[in-house]
Chains A and B, each alone.
Chain A
Amino acid sequence: MSVLGFLSPSRCEPGTITSPLRHALGRVGWSAYLGDPEQVRDLSLEGIVEIRGDLDRVSTLEGEELVRLSPRRGFLFTAGDAPDVAERVRAEGVLAYDASGALAGMAIANEAVMPRLTDLDLSQVPTAGPFARVWALFRRGEDGEYLIYVQQELGHYVAEAVLDALAGLEGWA
């Protein structure tokens, strides 16, 4: 095991890991409640690498997106194996950590729900800021949906807040 292998969900044996959102999004009845269960999709466990150092040194491959939070801190979203990507990036002269288990992610297709949960100017995505009163990272998906990432320990709460806001738009009390 590498020094930081204990950070990596992908180094766990198959069948041992689960999403932090499975209880919120898997709750019986929510899909009927929302009409379209695809309004919120679980993105947790995607490959994410937190990078510290000079981000200009970091090269990205196809399927990767580097979201810069500051000149020396960013998140690299990758379709590849996060610890391998972290190792590759470290070789470029920065520090990199597998953050795949640190963030819960969800794709929100219903654009109307966003202003109920954040006051950010969403024309500026990718960005970071408040979402349902906690810190979140915002991206846009290929189909225009919003990709929201929050600390995994807040994932269940945020997912419930999103579902509740969607219910509000649908006219549920």
Chain B
Amino acid sequence: MFSSSGTRVSGFRGDTIGSALYASGQRIFSRSFKYHRPRGLYCCAGHCPNCLMTVDGVPNVRVCVEPVREGAVVEAQNVWGSLDRDLLSITDRIGGPFTPVGFYYRTMIRPRRLWPLYEKALRNLAGLGRVAEDGAPHGRYDVEHRRARVLVIGGGRSGRAAALAAATLGPGVVLVDEDARLGATELEGVDVLAPACALGVWEGNLVPVDAGHVLYRFRAERIVVATGALDQPLLFPGNDLVGVLLPNACRRLVSDFAVKPGDRAVVVAADDDALEVADDLREAGVVVPRVVDIRQAQPRELAAEGRKGRVKRLLVDGEAVDCDLVVASAGRQPSYSLLAQAGARVEYDAARGVFVPTDLPAGIEAVGSVTGEGCSSIALPAQAGKAKCFVCVCEDVTTKDVSRAIAEGFDSIELAKRYTTVTMGPCQGKLCQLASIRLYAQTTGTGEAALGTTTARPPWTPVELGLLAGRHFEPARRTSIHFRHEEEGAKIMWAGPWKRPYAYGETPEDEVRAVHESLGVIDVSTLGKLLVEGPEAAELLERLYPNRFSDLKPGRIRYGVLTSDGGRIMDDGTIARLTDDLYYVTTTSTGADSVTAWFEWWNAVWGYEAEIVNVTGALAAVNLAGPRAREALERLTEDDLSAEAFRYLDARRIEVAGVPCLALRIGFVGELGYELHFPSPAGEHLWDRLVEEGARPFGLEPQRVLRLEKAHIIVGQDTDSESNLLSAGMPWLPKMDKEDFVGKLALEHFAEREEREKLVGFVMEENTLPAEGAQVVIEGFPAGRVTSARRSEAVGSVIGLVWVPPDRAEDGTRFEIRVDRRLVGARVTSGSFFDPAGERMRS
């Protein structure tokens, strides 16, 4: 049992929701896309939009192929009122003259400001089901990668035979079919996947298969397409009335679901297979007063008439035949789309009146009806009538719409597709492609072969967006100390690919104060860390960096900035020389991979005997900073940390709390500091010991305040892709007397020409904090931008870094910054804002 619009409905095992509803007497399943016309079962194969309903909150479910299930809740969609009484069906009665094809391109464009209103109205009046307001996924979606020696798409007679034949040659045969009943079929040596639908064929024989909540991405050595043929609708007035069915829809209702489709039926068809449906109907107890073989009869007049949207009679050349069922078909067209996507040519076979695939690419085969075997189709002469005649039931495109499009100059099938949207609905041309091409051919006098088809594109069948998206993956890098930060209540933020602590309390100022007055510790494991080793390591670094490293003594550290070959700043960090042949390089937290690639690329060009090894993950790193740093660290090590033995910019290997460390005496935050680099697995242990010694954890935000007090730049924040060492205030860094380094030529050019802007520090005249990116205004004109700004308790002002014109870069020069729509004065300050002599970090 399940419910449909509040009514309890019973079904049998093997039923679809559509067949159960039909058996219960329901005939109207949906309202059409644009005109809200009543629509009933039409194809019973999941191709057309006529049975789209919302099931258990999931919109646009094709209930004709959706297996019935206990407790399902089925509701109508795109309806104001009920399926029987849809208030929006008024658009069908009076909206026609106002809603011709492409009306939204012409009639709702003025005044332009009202477009949002028009759009809202259109979206409410037209469309399909609604996605849940909360955006919650309808269950879990997974993607699974599979390989197959032979992938057979389509489980009809030909497909099954092909799969079994392939299985005799070895394992790795998979058969995919939409029909759930095939899932229970045993085919020896064949892995049957059903219900499942191939969505397309991509390069490399990649075939994504929709299996409900799992998207299988098949890579197949060979693909066999056995997708069969599709019943094609006939174009006649009233051809969308409820009760007009395609032959195989009737056959499925009778044979598969034991449902009597109607009481009196007329069969109008163009091939023997479809005409035989009359026999099936008679066997099911349906009266069939008239069978029309349009190959012989070629009726000049064919029209269906109805009441309340349901067919009541069929007019055939002046004869009215009362009926509640019209089985109508123009023949069968090969379902070639997947072959076309794979690269096959599609040609029109004039003798049979169908498009057939030819010139199949290597590794792709076709069997059965999809090759054109047993397929033929003919067109009716153009039919006159008052009722609408639909070419495309998905998009509510009528023959009149197509004629109008042609009259307006959209005379190619590709243009017509875009203008009329024919073939762009849920059926993706399965039911309207041939019909629209025929209509174009008839109207323009151009042959079908010359018109050709529209481009076949995936997906071949509707697919849920959740399935395409698959499972959500969000690779997050976490340091080995990460969970200590969480336990200590840190507010975690994304910093590039890393998860890092923003601060540990509500007030980052406390953490800043702790570093200045006592002791702080920050996790800097995210820094990129490279080993550069080899007899020519020094030569390699000498050419990579603008400054000098060959004269760096073992045990000493030097700051380095990498520039591109265009002389722009790329990254920065420290370089410690551990031995004559071994350097330890740090990069920015987001720069490790790009710097590694940069080093390796240049080394491949130059061919130095040096290896570059990225050890970022292998090592954790913490920066212990503050006036108490030395005494705290001394309690955890037996090594000599005195200012004489371990000088500023020294690199030493020491053991701290039982952990071997590379200790670097550097000071990004401007206080006496030791940056300890050690095996990642010891991260929590060493962190705990440092905190036990009184170090207060501080996060990224306090670190940004501290480094700004020292006017230390952050590459990527204070610099951009145009910044160079000269304009960024580091003319002392490049050693232009070196024979060569990356970016030297560009820097020489920069030195020769007039600078356009300079990076300087500033102090605000009042306690107002400008936004990062705030505009610098000089004499009423924009003249620069703020890159960093923070309130500094230690400095007693709002401080920051800013790009200004060179003539405004002198110490003390006044300029204005736009803050909240007003201009606030600021003055240039050169050098560090705090401890300008650097005595504290050198102490």
Residues of chain A at the chain B interface (Cβ within 8 Å): 1, 3-9, 11-13, 15-20, 23, 44-45, 50, 52-53, 95, 97-103, 115-116, 118-119, 121, 132-134, 151-154, 156-157, 161, 164-165, 168, 172-173
- Distance between Cα atoms of A102 and B615 in the complex (Å): 7
B617 touches A102 (CB 8 A): yes
Q: A12-B659, A12-B660, A152-B618 are in contact. Are A3 and B653 (CB under 8 A)?
A: yes
Residue in B471, B474, B655, B684 whose CB lies within 8 Å of A18: B684
- Distance between Cα atoms of A157 and B64 in the complex (Å): 42
* Interface presence of B477 (CB below 8 A): yes
B808: chain A residues at CB < 8 Å are none
* Interface presence of B476 (CB below 8 A): yes
Q: A7-B619, A11-B660, A13-B658 are in contact. Are A154 and B477 (CB under 8 A)?
A: yes
A132: chain B residues at CB < 8 Å are 473, 475
- Distance between Cα atoms of A3 and B146 in the complex (Å): 47
B658 touches A5 (CB 8 A): no
| B 747-783 to A, binary, CB cutoff 8 A, 1 in contact else 0 | 0000000000000000000000000000000000000
* Interface presence of B24 (CB below 8 A): no
A6 touches B678 (CB 8 A): yes
B475 touches A133 (CB 8 A): yes
B147 touches A121 (CB 8 A): yes
Residues of chain B at the chain A interface (Cβ within 8 Å): 139-140, 142-147, 217, 219, 471, 473-480, 482-483, 498, 525, 531, 533-534, 578-579, 582, 611, 613, 615-619, 653, 655, 657-662, 677-686
B478 touches A16 (CB 8 A): no
A44: chain B residues at CB < 8 Å are 681
A53: chain B residues at CB < 8 Å are 611
* Least CB separation from A17: chain B residue: B681
B660 touches A6 (CB 8 A): yes
Among the interface residues B531, B533, B582, B617, which one has the most CB atoms of the partner chain A within 10 A?
B617
A153: chain B residues at CB < 8 Å are 477-480, 498, 525, 616-617, 680
A7 touches B615 (CB 8 A): yes
- Distance between Cα atoms of A173 and B140 in the complex (Å): 5
25 A-B pairs in the complex with CB atoms less than 8 angstroms apart = A1-B655, A5-B653, A5-B660, A6-B661, A7-B618, A8-B660, A12-B682, A13-B658, A16-B659, A18-B480, A95-B611, A97-B613, A97-B618, A101-B679, A116-B142, A116-B143, A132-B475, A133-B473, A153-B478, A153-B479, A156-B476, A157-B474, A161-B473, A164-B471, A168-B142
- Distance between Cα atoms of A45 and B480 in the complex (Å): 13
Residue in B147, B471, B615, B653 whose CB lies within 8 Å of A168: B471
A19 touches B681 (CB 8 A): yes
B681 touches A102 (CB 8 A): no
A95 touches B533 (CB 8 A): yes
Closest chain-A Cβ to B527's Cβ sits at a distance in Å of 12
B145: chain A residues at CB < 8 Å are 115-116, 118-119
A151: chain B residues at CB < 8 Å are 477, 616-617
Closest chain-B Cβ to A67's Cβ sits at a distance in Å of 16
Closest chain-A Cβ to B428's Cβ sits at a distance in Å of 27
Closest chain-A Cβ to B534's Cβ sits at a distance in Å of 8
Closest chain-B Cβ to A105's Cβ sits at a distance in Å of 12
B685: chain A residues at CB < 8 Å are 12, 15-18
Besides A12-B681, A121-B147, 7 other A-B contacts (C-beta < 8 A):
A4-B531, A7-B679, A16-B685, A97-B618, A115-B145, A152-B480, A153-B616
B684 touches A168 (CB 8 A): no
- Distance between Cα atoms of A98 and B83 in the complex (Å): 70
Closest 7 interchain pairs by CB? Answer: A13-B658, A102-B618, A17-B681, A119-B145, A16-B685, A153-B477, A52-B611
Closest chain-B Cβ to A168's Cβ sits at a distance in Å of 5
B659: chain A residues at CB < 8 Å are 12-13, 16
- Distance between Cα atoms of A97 and B613 in the complex (Å): 9
- Distance between Cα atoms of A19 and B657 in the complex (Å): 18
Residue in A17, A19, A103, A118 whose CB lies within 8 Å of B679: A17
- Distance between Cα atoms of A97 and B531 in the complex (Å): 10
* Least CB separation from B662: chain A residue: A6
B616: chain A residues at CB < 8 Å are 151, 153
